[in-house]
Amino acid sequence: MFSALADPTRRDIVARLAAGDATVNELAEPHEVTVQAVSKHIKVLQDAGLVSRSRDAQRRPCHLEAEVFDLMTKWIERYRREAEDRLLRLDALLGQMGEQPVTDTQGKEAAS
């Protein structure tokens, strides 16, 4: 999923689909690339499970799979909390170390 979102064109496609379903032609309009190139970007997003396509008569609209983003957000939040907890423990440890007197080992070696 993250590699699929690494490309700015694909991120823009996802942002546009967040507002509602759209066809490949509609998604290609603001970009200076071919419809085929946008179609390839959509294929990458489909392979990652972020976008699906359906058939509506002659239209083949693309649809954002929002629940996948919800799962990804929960996963990121879990690791963010773990990293935050580690940083808080490190901060507490560094605070304890700052309260302890520091011995001057360099001064003792120079005197010897």
pTM of the model: 0.66
| DSSP letter string, 22-38 | B-HHHHHTTSSS-HHHH
Tell me, what DSSP letter sits at residue 104? -
pLDDT in tens, 9-39: 999 999 999 999 999 999 999 888 899 999 9
Alpha-helical (H) ranges within 29-104 are 35-47, 66-99
pLDDT in tens, 50-102: 999 887 767 789 999 988 888 888 889 999 999 999 999 999 998 888 777 65
